[in-house]
Structure 1
Amino acid sequence: MPEGDTVWQATRRLHNALAGHVLTLSDLRVPKYALTDLTGRTVLDVTPRGKHLLTRLEGGLTLHSHLRMDGSWKIYAPGERWRGGPGHQIRAILGTEERTAVGYRLPVLELLHTADEDRAVGHLGPDLLGPDWDPDKALANLLSDPDRALGEALLDQRNLAGIGNVFKSEICFLLRVTPWIPVGGLPAEYTVYLPTLAKKLLEVNRERPTRITTGRRDQNLFVYGRAGRPCLRCGTRIRVANQGDGSRERPTYWCPTCQPGPSPQPGAPQRPGPTPTR
């Protein structure tokens, strides 16, 4: 699933391609908007909000999209072959004289009045890469349910917006706690540092083509995707288990030595918890 840094990059590409230009091509391939024609409207800006993309148009309209697991927006020059996927996966086409933006496999696509954007993103907590970032508010949101597992709380976009499964695992490793520790059980110094750490990781990576949390060129990530491989700190084999409400596969990686605390035993069923909100 794209996380806040990759959504920020996608939004910037869309903004650079479309903002300030008049739409000469408009095709929204979802039944509700099949007859909607946006041609003739100027694209004002494209703005990220957590993992959501808001394409604002002249006339007070916003096209809201969300990439979820495998959605994407691709930008093409005139005459360039579209390579983002088969035609039946296209959900939106926005074209100007100079560029065409094609949205593939978009599970969320809706047209809103710009004044009503809160209907789509008003539930989100402070955006780690946005102008509304407020570390105190983010921390208060996380601590509002002290018994909730830290990993689940970090994924809940109502607490703070932009963290996905990769950053969840990496943040917990850097804090030296397991993703299953209750938020209220975090040592005080870690609790205060958590919002700062999360923001730093996303800010560093929003300009990078490849996500890096280690600062090492030979290994990009500390734990995510490294199950069975040695920990970069202590050499213990990294473990993986699903964390969540059981409705989604959310593989979670951790080092059992560097991250002491509660964790599932191999083969143990996961306790259902609140579903994180996107």
Structure 2
Amino acid sequence: MLLSLDPNSARKKLNEFGCSFNHSDFELNKNERINDVEHNEIVFFRKDTKNSVRVNLSNFLKSEQTIRILQNNIIHPNAISMCLLPDKSIFCYGNYPVSGAAFILYPDSTIKRLSAGNPSGNMGVVYHDGFIYLFGGCNAQGKTWNKAAKYELSTDKWYKTCPLEEDLSRVSCIAGNYGNYGIAFVGYESSKLYLYNQKQDIYNEIYLNFAAQTNNILLQAENRVFLIESSKNIYESEPNQLSYWIIIEVSQISYSNRVAYQVYFNQSCYFMDIHCKIYKFDIKSLQLTMTQV
């Protein structure tokens, strides 16, 4: 079903499908995520319904939004985490209906269920070179979980990796080339950045030169690294200088202290806050703009 609606009509129609976008609903379900499917859409998952919503980004900041409801009978994992794969499918992971539930959502809305992983949700999840890497998270009782694991897509097998040295209730990840270190991640409530060495299965800890707030977004683009912080600050660094960050002066647009998973394409980063506002951060101009879904 494809609907082309203005934002107010879209919100009303989504309510009819059980996909409410009001502030209280979103805040109660803060484990939702957004991600990129076909480099022109955001897919927004509701953990309490069997629907997901795709917002067409080609209409960003225009009067109409193209909203599509996917009624594909998905049982969404609780505390869902996800990452985009090279074929534009999405790897999804959580701890419901079973601990470590995992599946792949393809662009045509078909589902492939995978073997279950470690009993944890809310993990930082990132794809790199045929593997899914998972960090941090919490267990079914909501306690912090210092687990780390990797999943091999070609064999549908799970492997344990070196455990984290401290509990991180949630982590944000980026995959990139940092010499021997392939993956970087930061705890939502930590001023530390960790680099994971895939060959040696060890972690290198880097202290940031600022006190990172909660619910950060990490982004690597154009040989630069950006940290979009929940305290309304945006920082910039380089892959080989991750101990040194500079603050970027952006417009006075303010966003919530909780932001959802980012989407990056066409030199822009998109993210959503708990007020259901979508923000666009342009990497080239360093400008921040906002719209309301």
- Scaled by the length of structure 1, what TM-score is found? 0.30
- Scaled by the length of structure 2, what TM-score is found? 0.29
Give the structure with the higher percent strand: 2
Greater relative CO (CA pairs within 8 A, separation 6+): 1
Give the structure with the higher percent helix: 1
